[in-house]
């Protein structure tokens, strides 16, 4: 990664750990020596609503928000949320999508249907060939807790960022999660890193 500004958009549904993921991502950027800016939109996060965070790393970052179509990495903890924010992704950007499915009310009520993986992939193929479904819940459970699916996705993301040593990611994770969950979260991170890298 060069010193050009890198734009990360972290999206999910309230309660999925999107804010923890964006906080880790921002702190990793600071420790790696970048100027970092972050902006959060919580929406109805307490009630399972959409949550997104803009995290920007660079030499001299002016604004905390990412312009439409300028996201370098779309980091989505929930499949449908990835489609909601696809217009933010630049052509050829990286899309990392976790396997979580949290149907919105329109789907739960039968008013709408939830898109299958192939439909989601087809939409992303029009924007980028760097699209990855990550088995976040599966890998998190194997690491010891299904709640670490956000950390699995951080691991996958880290495999695309050569300039930041794995140790920095692991240190920040250890500081941001409760002490008793440090080991399982670090295992989840490594599992995510291995699945793409």
What integer pLDDT is reported at residue 43 of this predicted model?
62
Mean pLDDT of 111-118: 90
Query: By CB neighbour count within 10 A (0-12 exposed, 13-18 middle, 19+ buried), where does 106 fall?
Result: exposed
Q: How confident is the model at residue 1 (pLDDT cuts 50, 70, 90)?
A: very low
What CATH number has the domain spanning 6-196? 3.40.920.10
What integer pLDDT is reported at residue 41 of this predicted model?
78
pLDDT digits (tens, 9 = 90+) for 19-38: 999 999 999 999 999 999 99
pLDDT digits (tens, 9 = 90+) for 55-94: 999 999 999 999 999 999 999 999 999 999 999 999 999 9
| Averaged pLDDT of the chain | 93
Top-confidence residue, 46 or 79: 79
Q: By C-alpha distance, which of 107, 96, 100, 188 is closest to 151?
A: 188
Residue boundaries of the structural domains of the chain: 6-196
Q: Where are the alpha helices (DSSP H) in the chain?
A: 18-31, 79-84, 105-108, 117-125, 136-143, 149-158, 166-176, 182-196
Give 173's Cβ-side CA count (13 Å radius).
26
pLDDT digits (tens, 9 = 90+) for 152-194: 999 999 999 998 999 999 999 999 999 999 999 999 999 999 9
Distance CA 39, CA 63 (A): 9
Q: How confident is the model at residue 49 (pLDDT cuts 50, 70, 90)?
A: confident
Nearest 5 degrees, angle CA 76-CA 77-CA 81?
60
Please answer whether residues 128 and 94 qualify as being in contact, where contact means their C-beta atoms are separated by less than 8 angstroms: yes
- Which pTM value belongs to this model? 0.92
What integer pLDDT is reported at residue 106 of this predicted model?
81
What integer pLDDT is reported at residue 3 of this predicted model?
61
What integer pLDDT is reported at residue 73 of this predicted model?
98
């Amino acid at each position: 990664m060069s010193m050009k500004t890198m734009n990360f958009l972290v999206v999910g549904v309230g309660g999925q750990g999107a804010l923890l993921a964006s906080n880790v991502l921002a702190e990793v950027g600071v420790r790696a020596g970048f100027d970092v800016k972050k902006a959060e939109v919580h929406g109805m996060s307490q009630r399972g609503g959409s949550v997104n965070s803009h995290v920007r790393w660079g030499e001299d970052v002016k604004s905390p928000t990412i312009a439409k179509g300028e996201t370098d990495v779309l980091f989505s903890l929930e499949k449908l949320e990835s489609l909601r924010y696809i217009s933010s992704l630049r052509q050829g950007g990286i899309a990392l999508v976790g396997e979580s499915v949290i149907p919105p009310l329109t789907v739960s009520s039968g008013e709408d249907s939830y898109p299958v993986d192939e439909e989601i992939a087809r939409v992303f193929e029009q924007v980028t060939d760097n699209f990855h479904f990550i088995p976040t819940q599966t890998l998190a459970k194997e690491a010891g807790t299904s709640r670490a699916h956000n950390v699995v996705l951080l691991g996958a993301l880290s495999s695309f960022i050569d300039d930041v040593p794995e140790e920095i990611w692991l240190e920040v994770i250890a500081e941001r999660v409760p002490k008793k969950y440090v080991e399982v979260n670090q295992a989840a991170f490594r599992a995510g890193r291995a699945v793409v890298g």
